[in-house]
Amino acid sequence: MMFELVENLDGLSIGVFGIGGCGCNTVNTIFNEVQNPQTKFYCVNTDKVVLEHSQSDDFVLIGAELTNGYGAGADPAIGLLAAQESEEQLLTLIKSCDILLCATGLGGGTGTGASPYIAKLAKDLNKPVICLATLPFISEGDFRRKVAEQGLDELKQFANAVVTLPNDQLIEVLGNDIGLFDAFKHSNQILHSLITSLIDMLCYQGLINVDLRDFQRVMDAQGDAVLGVGKCADESDLQMALTQALSNPLVSSVDMSTSTGVIVQINCVDEISLGSYNTIMDTVRHQVSPNAVVICGASKITCLANNFEILIIATGAKSQLIHAKNIDETIPKVEQTTKAKAVVSSQSDIFDIPAFIRSQSPAPSVK
Ligand SMILES: Nc1nc2c(ncn2[C@@H]2O[C@H](COP(=O)(O)OP(=O)(O)OP(=O)(O)O)[C@@H](O)[C@H]2O)c(=O)[nH]1
Protein backbone atom coordinates (compact mmCIF):
# COMPACT_ATOMS: atom_id res chain seq x y z
CA MET A 1 0.00 0.00 0.00
CA MET A 2 1.39 3.36 -0.96
CA PHE A 3 0.95 6.72 0.67
CA GLU A 4 1.91 10.25 -0.22
CA LEU A 5 5.32 11.52 0.63
CA VAL A 6 5.61 14.21 3.25
CA GLU A 7 8.50 16.33 1.98
CA ASN A 8 9.03 18.58 4.96
CA LEU A 9 10.65 16.41 7.61
CA ASP A 10 11.18 19.30 10.01
CA GLY A 11 7.46 19.78 10.28
CA LEU A 12 6.67 16.08 10.59
CA SER A 13 3.96 15.54 13.12
CA ILE A 14 3.41 12.19 14.81
CA GLY A 15 0.14 11.25 16.46
CA VAL A 16 0.28 8.50 19.08
CA PHE A 17 -3.23 7.10 19.49
CA GLY A 18 -4.08 4.94 22.50
CA ILE A 19 -7.29 3.12 21.58
CA GLY A 20 -9.38 1.35 24.23
CA GLY A 21 -8.33 0.58 27.81
CA CYS A 22 -4.96 -0.97 27.03
CA GLY A 23 -4.08 1.74 24.50
CA CYS A 24 -5.00 4.49 26.96
CA ASN A 25 -2.88 2.81 29.66
CA THR A 26 0.05 2.85 27.25
CA VAL A 27 -0.39 6.54 26.43
CA ASN A 28 -0.70 7.31 30.14
CA THR A 29 2.67 5.73 30.83
CA ILE A 30 4.42 7.57 27.99
CA PHE A 31 2.83 11.00 27.93
CA ASN A 32 4.87 12.69 30.64
CA GLU A 33 8.12 11.10 29.54
CA VAL A 34 8.20 12.16 25.90
CA GLN A 35 8.85 15.86 25.50
CA ASN A 36 8.79 16.16 21.76
CA PRO A 37 6.98 19.09 20.17
CA GLN A 38 6.39 17.06 17.00
CA THR A 39 4.50 14.34 18.85
CA LYS A 40 0.97 14.53 20.17
CA PHE A 41 -0.72 11.89 22.32
CA TYR A 42 -4.39 11.07 21.98
CA CYS A 43 -6.61 8.75 23.99
CA VAL A 44 -9.62 7.25 22.25
CA ASN A 45 -12.15 5.28 24.26
CA THR A 46 -15.81 4.49 24.80
CA ASP A 47 -15.19 4.53 28.53
CA LYS A 48 -15.65 8.00 29.99
CA VAL A 49 -14.10 7.17 33.35
CA VAL A 50 -10.87 5.92 31.76
CA LEU A 51 -10.69 9.05 29.61
CA GLU A 52 -11.23 11.37 32.54
CA HIS A 53 -8.14 9.82 34.13
CA SER A 54 -6.06 9.76 30.99
CA GLN A 55 -2.96 11.84 30.47
CA SER A 56 -2.74 13.01 26.87
CA ASP A 57 -2.78 16.11 24.70
CA ASP A 58 -6.37 15.44 23.73
CA PHE A 59 -8.95 12.68 23.92
CA VAL A 60 -12.05 11.53 22.09
CA LEU A 61 -14.95 9.84 23.82
CA ILE A 62 -16.22 7.79 20.90
CA GLY A 63 -19.83 6.66 20.66
CA ALA A 64 -21.08 8.83 23.50
CA GLU A 65 -24.66 8.49 22.26
CA LEU A 66 -24.39 4.76 21.70
CA THR A 67 -22.75 3.72 24.95
CA ASN A 68 -23.37 6.70 27.24
CA GLY A 69 -19.67 6.54 28.06
CA TYR A 70 -19.89 3.09 29.66
CA GLY A 71 -17.51 1.17 27.38
CA ALA A 72 -18.10 -1.33 24.60
CA GLY A 73 -18.77 -4.34 26.83
CA ALA A 74 -16.19 -6.50 25.06
CA ASP A 75 -18.17 -6.26 21.82
CA PRO A 76 -16.16 -5.06 18.80
CA ALA A 77 -19.41 -4.23 16.98
CA ILE A 78 -19.96 -1.51 19.58
CA GLY A 79 -16.36 -0.33 19.26
CA LEU A 80 -16.77 -0.02 15.52
CA LEU A 81 -20.13 1.78 15.69
CA ALA A 82 -18.72 4.10 18.33
CA ALA A 83 -15.80 5.04 16.06
CA GLN A 84 -18.22 5.66 13.22
CA GLU A 85 -20.41 7.86 15.39
CA SER A 86 -17.37 9.98 16.26
CA GLU A 87 -15.77 9.94 12.82
CA GLU A 88 -15.63 13.74 12.54
CA GLN A 89 -13.66 14.18 15.78
CA LEU A 90 -11.34 11.32 14.85
CA LEU A 91 -10.75 12.79 11.41
CA THR A 92 -9.81 16.15 12.91
CA LEU A 93 -7.04 14.46 14.91
CA ILE A 94 -5.95 12.17 12.08
CA LYS A 95 -5.69 15.07 9.64
CA SER A 96 -3.36 16.90 12.02
CA CYS A 97 -0.78 14.05 11.86
CA ASP A 98 1.64 12.88 9.17
CA ILE A 99 2.13 9.47 10.78
CA LEU A 100 -0.04 7.55 13.24
CA LEU A 101 1.36 5.21 15.86
CA CYS A 102 -1.56 3.31 17.39
CA ALA A 103 -1.43 1.28 20.59
CA THR A 104 -4.28 -1.04 21.44
CA GLY A 105 -5.20 -4.25 23.24
CA LEU A 106 -7.03 -6.70 20.99
CA GLY A 107 -9.73 -8.94 22.48
CA GLY A 108 -12.07 -6.33 23.97
CA GLY A 109 -14.72 -4.19 22.32
CA THR A 110 -13.28 -0.71 21.86
CA GLY A 111 -9.70 -1.39 20.74
CA THR A 112 -10.67 -4.33 18.52
CA GLY A 113 -13.62 -2.58 16.88
CA ALA A 114 -12.34 0.98 16.66
CA SER A 115 -8.64 0.47 15.77
CA PRO A 116 -9.19 -1.01 12.28
CA TYR A 117 -11.67 1.77 11.55
CA ILE A 118 -9.23 4.46 12.67
CA ALA A 119 -6.51 2.83 10.56
CA LYS A 120 -8.92 2.82 7.61
CA LEU A 121 -9.70 6.53 8.05
CA ALA A 122 -5.97 7.23 8.07
CA LYS A 123 -5.32 4.99 5.09
CA ASP A 124 -8.01 6.80 3.10
CA LEU A 125 -6.08 10.00 3.80
CA ASN A 126 -2.78 8.36 2.76
CA LYS A 127 -1.32 8.59 6.25
CA PRO A 128 1.01 5.78 7.31
CA VAL A 129 -0.19 3.80 10.32
CA ILE A 130 1.90 1.57 12.57
CA CYS A 131 -0.04 -0.42 15.10
CA LEU A 132 1.24 -2.04 18.26
CA ALA A 133 -1.34 -4.49 19.55
CA THR A 134 -1.41 -6.81 22.54
CA LEU A 135 -3.09 -10.22 22.23
CA PRO A 136 -5.09 -11.55 25.21
CA PHE A 137 -3.96 -14.17 27.72
CA ILE A 138 -5.17 -17.69 26.85
CA SER A 139 -6.84 -17.67 30.27
CA GLU A 140 -9.11 -14.84 29.10
CA GLY A 141 -10.97 -17.45 27.09
CA ASP A 142 -11.69 -18.50 23.54
CA PHE A 143 -14.14 -15.71 22.87
CA ARG A 144 -11.56 -12.99 23.45
CA ARG A 145 -8.95 -14.91 21.46
CA LYS A 146 -11.25 -15.17 18.45
CA VAL A 147 -12.25 -11.54 18.73
CA ALA A 148 -8.56 -10.60 18.87
CA GLU A 149 -7.64 -12.75 15.86
CA GLN A 150 -10.36 -11.30 13.72
CA GLY A 151 -9.46 -7.80 14.88
CA LEU A 152 -5.85 -8.47 13.94
CA ASP A 153 -6.82 -9.59 10.44
CA GLU A 154 -8.90 -6.43 10.02
CA LEU A 155 -6.13 -4.23 11.32
CA LYS A 156 -3.63 -5.73 8.90
CA GLN A 157 -5.83 -4.73 5.99
CA PHE A 158 -5.60 -1.05 6.85
CA ALA A 159 -2.40 -0.46 8.82
CA ASN A 160 0.99 -0.39 7.13
CA ALA A 161 2.51 -2.47 9.89
CA VAL A 162 1.04 -4.33 12.85
CA VAL A 163 3.34 -5.52 15.61
CA THR A 164 1.76 -7.91 18.10
CA LEU A 165 2.68 -8.48 21.74
CA PRO A 166 0.95 -11.62 23.03
CA ASN A 167 0.23 -11.17 26.73
CA ASP A 168 0.94 -14.87 27.33
CA GLN A 169 4.55 -14.26 26.49
CA LEU A 170 4.60 -12.12 29.63
CA ILE A 171 4.10 -15.31 31.64
CA GLU A 172 6.75 -17.19 29.68
CA VAL A 173 9.27 -14.45 30.26
CA LEU A 174 8.33 -13.20 33.71
CA GLY A 175 7.06 -16.44 35.24
CA ASN A 176 3.68 -17.39 36.67
CA ASP A 177 4.28 -15.65 39.98
CA ILE A 178 4.37 -12.16 38.51
CA GLY A 179 1.39 -10.05 39.58
CA LEU A 180 -1.14 -9.18 36.89
CA PHE A 181 -0.58 -5.45 37.23
CA ASP A 182 3.19 -5.87 37.19
CA ALA A 183 2.96 -8.01 34.06
CA PHE A 184 0.86 -5.36 32.34
CA LYS A 185 3.26 -2.67 33.46
CA HIS A 186 6.08 -4.66 31.94
CA SER A 187 4.25 -5.03 28.65
CA ASN A 188 3.34 -1.34 28.66
CA GLN A 189 7.01 -0.58 29.23
CA ILE A 190 7.90 -2.50 26.06
CA LEU A 191 5.22 -0.60 24.14
CA HIS A 192 6.66 2.58 25.62
CA SER A 193 10.16 1.72 24.52
CA LEU A 194 9.11 0.85 20.97
CA ILE A 195 7.05 4.00 20.56
CA THR A 196 9.71 6.37 21.91
CA SER A 197 12.41 4.82 19.72
CA LEU A 198 10.21 5.23 16.66
CA ILE A 199 9.57 8.85 17.57
CA ASP A 200 13.31 9.47 18.00
CA MET A 201 14.09 7.89 14.67
CA LEU A 202 11.50 9.93 12.83
CA CYS A 203 12.08 13.26 14.54
CA TYR A 204 15.84 13.56 14.97
CA GLN A 205 17.86 14.40 11.92
CA GLY A 206 20.45 11.63 11.71
CA LEU A 207 24.11 11.68 10.73
CA ILE A 208 23.07 8.84 8.50
CA ASN A 209 19.44 9.64 8.06
CA VAL A 210 16.45 7.36 7.75
CA ASP A 211 14.07 9.77 6.12
CA LEU A 212 10.40 9.42 5.54
CA ARG A 213 10.96 8.12 2.02
CA ASP A 214 13.05 5.21 3.39
CA PHE A 215 10.56 4.63 6.12
CA GLN A 216 7.68 4.48 3.65
CA ARG A 217 9.58 2.08 1.43
CA VAL A 218 10.00 -0.41 4.24
CA MET A 219 6.49 0.12 5.59
CA ASP A 220 4.93 -0.51 2.18
CA ALA A 221 5.98 -4.18 2.31
CA GLN A 222 3.11 -6.61 2.64
CA GLY A 223 3.39 -9.19 5.39
CA ASP A 224 4.18 -9.22 9.08
CA ALA A 225 6.21 -6.68 10.93
CA VAL A 226 8.48 -6.94 13.90
CA LEU A 227 9.87 -4.12 15.97
CA GLY A 228 12.63 -4.42 18.50
CA VAL A 229 14.69 -2.13 20.66
CA GLY A 230 17.96 -2.91 22.44
CA LYS A 231 19.83 -0.56 24.76
CA CYS A 232 23.25 -0.46 26.40
CA ALA A 233 25.58 1.90 28.21
CA ASP A 234 28.90 0.77 26.65
CA GLU A 235 29.85 0.39 23.05
CA SER A 236 31.35 -3.00 23.90
CA ASP A 237 27.82 -4.23 24.71
CA LEU A 238 26.33 -3.25 21.36
CA GLN A 239 26.18 -6.84 20.19
CA MET A 240 24.07 -7.70 23.24
CA ALA A 241 21.78 -4.73 22.54
CA LEU A 242 21.40 -5.97 18.98
CA THR A 243 20.44 -9.43 20.21
CA GLN A 244 17.89 -7.78 22.50
CA ALA A 245 16.47 -5.82 19.58
CA LEU A 246 16.33 -8.86 17.32
CA SER A 247 14.74 -11.19 19.82
CA ASN A 248 12.47 -9.32 22.16
CA PRO A 249 10.68 -12.24 23.79
CA LEU A 250 7.54 -10.19 24.39
CA VAL A 251 7.01 -9.29 20.76
CA SER A 252 5.63 -11.96 18.40
CA SER A 253 8.48 -13.43 16.48
CA VAL A 254 8.51 -13.51 12.73
CA ASP A 255 10.94 -15.28 10.48
CA MET A 256 13.42 -12.47 9.84
CA SER A 257 14.95 -14.36 6.93
CA THR A 258 11.68 -13.79 5.04
CA SER A 259 11.60 -10.05 5.72
CA THR A 260 11.71 -7.91 2.62
CA GLY A 261 12.46 -4.60 4.29
CA VAL A 262 14.48 -3.71 7.36
CA ILE A 263 15.36 -0.46 9.08
CA VAL A 264 18.24 -0.48 11.53
CA GLN A 265 18.53 2.72 13.47
CA ILE A 266 21.33 3.37 15.94
CA ASN A 267 20.90 6.27 18.33
CA CYS A 268 23.83 7.33 20.45
CA VAL A 269 24.47 10.08 22.94
CA ASP A 270 27.93 10.81 21.63
CA GLU A 271 29.75 8.72 19.02
CA ILE A 272 29.89 5.19 17.63
CA SER A 273 32.98 3.72 16.00
CA LEU A 274 32.79 2.82 12.34
CA GLY A 275 33.82 -0.72 13.26
CA SER A 276 30.86 -1.23 15.63
CA TYR A 277 28.49 0.34 13.15
CA ASN A 278 29.61 -1.99 10.37
CA THR A 279 29.46 -5.07 12.59
CA ILE A 280 25.85 -4.34 13.51
CA MET A 281 24.82 -3.74 9.92
CA ASP A 282 26.59 -6.93 8.76
CA THR A 283 24.90 -9.00 11.45
CA VAL A 284 21.47 -7.73 10.43
CA ARG A 285 22.15 -8.22 6.73
CA HIS A 286 23.05 -11.86 7.42
CA GLN A 287 19.70 -12.41 9.13
CA VAL A 288 17.54 -11.26 6.24
CA SER A 289 17.18 -12.38 2.65
CA PRO A 290 19.82 -11.01 0.24
CA ASN A 291 17.04 -9.26 -1.68
CA ALA A 292 15.72 -7.37 1.33
CA VAL A 293 15.95 -3.59 1.36
CA VAL A 294 18.11 -2.79 4.39
CA ILE A 295 18.12 0.84 5.45
CA CYS A 296 20.56 2.02 8.06
CA GLY A 297 20.49 5.15 10.13
CA ALA A 298 22.52 6.68 12.93
CA SER A 299 21.61 9.68 15.01
CA LYS A 300 23.27 11.58 17.80
CA ILE A 301 20.66 12.28 20.45
CA THR A 302 22.24 13.91 23.47
CA CYS A 303 19.17 13.49 25.68
CA LEU A 304 18.96 9.66 25.31
CA ALA A 305 18.48 7.76 28.55
CA ASN A 306 21.04 5.12 27.49
CA ASN A 307 24.28 5.77 25.62
CA PHE A 308 23.29 3.45 22.78
CA GLU A 309 19.96 2.37 21.42
CA ILE A 310 19.29 0.08 18.46
CA LEU A 311 15.89 0.00 16.81
CA ILE A 312 15.04 -2.71 14.29
CA ILE A 313 11.95 -2.64 12.12
CA ALA A 314 11.53 -5.61 9.80
CA THR A 315 8.54 -5.85 7.49
CA GLY A 316 7.16 -8.14 4.82
CA ALA A 317 7.88 -11.30 6.80
CA LYS A 318 5.92 -14.52 6.85
CA SER A 319 4.11 -14.83 10.15
CA GLN A 320 4.83 -17.41 12.80
CA LEU A 321 1.63 -16.58 14.62
CA ILE A 322 -0.73 -19.48 14.88
CA HIS A 323 -4.20 -18.53 13.79
CA ALA A 324 -7.32 -20.30 15.01
CA LYS A 325 -8.91 -22.36 12.29
CA ASN A 326 -12.54 -21.52 12.88
CA ILE A 327 -12.84 -17.84 13.48
CA ASP A 328 -16.41 -16.98 14.44
CA GLU A 329 -17.95 -15.38 11.37
CA THR A 330 -20.45 -13.43 13.45
CA ILE A 331 -17.79 -11.00 14.62
CA PRO A 332 -18.37 -7.75 12.68
CA LYS A 333 -16.02 -6.42 10.05
CA VAL A 334 -15.18 -2.81 9.30
CA GLU A 335 -16.33 -3.27 5.74
CA GLN A 336 -19.67 -4.74 6.82
CA THR A 337 -20.48 -1.93 9.16
CA THR A 338 -24.11 -1.53 8.24
CA LYS A 339 -24.74 -5.07 9.43
CA ALA A 340 -23.13 -4.50 12.79
CA LYS A 341 -25.61 -4.48 15.61
CA ALA A 342 -25.26 -2.52 18.82
CA VAL A 343 -25.77 -5.43 21.17
CA VAL A 344 -23.71 -5.64 24.32
CA SER A 345 -22.16 -9.08 24.65
CA SER A 346 -23.54 -11.23 27.42
CA GLN A 347 -20.64 -13.72 27.45
CA SER A 348 -20.23 -14.63 31.08
CA ASP A 349 -16.82 -16.27 30.83
CA ILE A 350 -15.04 -13.12 29.72
CA PHE A 351 -12.56 -11.51 32.04
CA ASP A 352 -13.19 -7.82 32.20
CA ILE A 353 -9.64 -6.65 32.46
CA PRO A 354 -10.47 -2.92 32.28
CA ALA A 355 -12.12 -3.09 35.69
CA PHE A 356 -8.81 -4.27 37.15
CA ILE A 357 -6.80 -1.79 35.22
CA ARG A 358 -9.04 1.18 35.93
CA SER A 359 -8.20 1.00 39.60
CA GLN A 360 -4.53 1.62 38.84
CA SER A 361 -5.09 4.58 36.51
CA PRO A 362 -3.02 7.57 37.52
CA ALA A 363 -4.77 10.65 38.82
CA PRO A 364 -5.69 13.25 36.21
CA SER A 365 -3.00 15.81 35.62
CA VAL A 366 -2.35 18.74 33.37
CA LYS A 367 0.88 18.74 31.40
N1 LIG B 1 -0.37 -5.55 28.06
C2 LIG B 1 -1.51 -5.02 28.46
N3 LIG B 1 -2.65 -5.60 28.05
C4 LIG B 1 -3.81 -5.05 28.47
C5 LIG B 1 -3.87 -3.91 29.30
N6 LIG B 1 -5.18 -3.63 29.52
C7 LIG B 1 -5.90 -4.56 28.85
N8 LIG B 1 -5.07 -5.42 28.21
C9 LIG B 1 -5.44 -6.50 27.26
O10 LIG B 1 -6.21 -5.90 26.24
C11 LIG B 1 -7.42 -6.62 26.04
C12 LIG B 1 -8.52 -5.61 25.79
O13 LIG B 1 -8.79 -4.90 26.98
P14 LIG B 1 -9.13 -3.36 27.00
O15 LIG B 1 -8.13 -2.61 26.20
O16 LIG B 1 -9.30 -2.92 28.39
O17 LIG B 1 -10.53 -3.40 26.24
P18 LIG B 1 -11.19 -2.28 25.34
O19 LIG B 1 -10.60 -2.30 23.99
O20 LIG B 1 -11.15 -0.98 26.09
O21 LIG B 1 -12.68 -2.81 25.19
P22 LIG B 1 -13.94 -2.67 26.17
O23 LIG B 1 -13.46 -2.64 27.58
O24 LIG B 1 -14.71 -3.89 25.85
O25 LIG B 1 -14.63 -1.41 25.77
C26 LIG B 1 -7.61 -7.44 27.32
O27 LIG B 1 -8.28 -8.61 26.98
C28 LIG B 1 -6.22 -7.67 27.82
O29 LIG B 1 -5.67 -8.85 27.27
C30 LIG B 1 -2.63 -3.30 29.70
O31 LIG B 1 -2.58 -2.29 30.39
N32 LIG B 1 -1.49 -3.90 29.25
* Residues 156 and 244 reside in one and the same domain: no
Point out the ligand 1 atom lying closest to the alpha carbon of residue 74.
Answer: 24
Side by side, which strands form the sheet with 39-45? 58-61, 39-45, 14-19, 99-105, 129-135, 161-166
For residues 172 and 281, membership in a common domain is answered with no
Q: Which helix (H) or strand (E) holds 140?
A: none
Of the three residues 145, 168, 202, the one that is the final residue of a domain is 202
Domain of 115? 9-202
Tell whether 55 is covered by a domain: yes
What residues does ligand 1 touch, defined as CB less than 6 Å away? 20-22, 25, 46-47, 71-74, 105, 107-111, 134, 136-137, 140, 144, 167, 184, 187-188, 353-354, 357
**Cα(268) to centroid(ligand 1), Å:** 34
Residue in 201, 196, 257 with CA at minimum distance from that of residue 226: 257
Q: Does residue 332 form part of some domain?
A: no
Binding-site positions for GTP: 109-111, 140, 144, 188
Q: Quick check: is 27 in a domain? A: yes
Sequence ranges of the binding site? 109-111, 140, 144, 188
Question: Same domain for 197 and 226?
Answer: no
Nearest CA, atom 4, ligand 1: 22
Residue 236 in domain: yes
What is the pLDDT tens value at each position of the chain, 367 positions in all?
A: 333 333 344 568 999 999 999 999 999 988 988 878 889 999 999 999 999 999 999 999 999 999 999 999 999 999 999 999 999 999 999 999 999 999 999 999 999 999 999 999 999 998 989 899 999 988 889 999 999 999 999 999 999 888 888 888 777 777 778 887 888 877 777 788 778 878 887 777 666 666 667 777 777 776 777 788 889 999 999 999 998 888 766 666 667 788 888 888 888 998 889 899 999 999 988 888 888 888 888 888 888 888 999 988 888 887 654 333 333 343 445 554 433 322 222 222 222 333 333 333 333 333 3
Interface predicted TM-score (ipTM): 0.99
Q: Atom 13 in ligand 1: which residue has the minimum CA distance?
A: 108
CATH of the domain at 280: 3.30.1330.20
Say if 216 falls within a structural domain. Answer: no
Residue 211 domain flag: no
Find the CATH number of the domain harbouring 114.
3.40.50.1440
| Same-domain check for residues 196 and 232 | no
> Considering its fold, how many domains does the chain have in total?
2
Residue nearest to atom 6 of ligand 1 (CA): 22
CA distance 230 to 70: 39
**Rounded to the nearest whole angstrom, what is the distance from the C-alpha of residue 134 to the centroid of ligand 1?**
8
b/e code 80-115 from CB counts within 10 Å (16+ = b): bbbbbbbeebbeebbeebbbbbbbbbbbbbbbbbbb
Tell me: do 167 and 275 sit in the same domain.
no
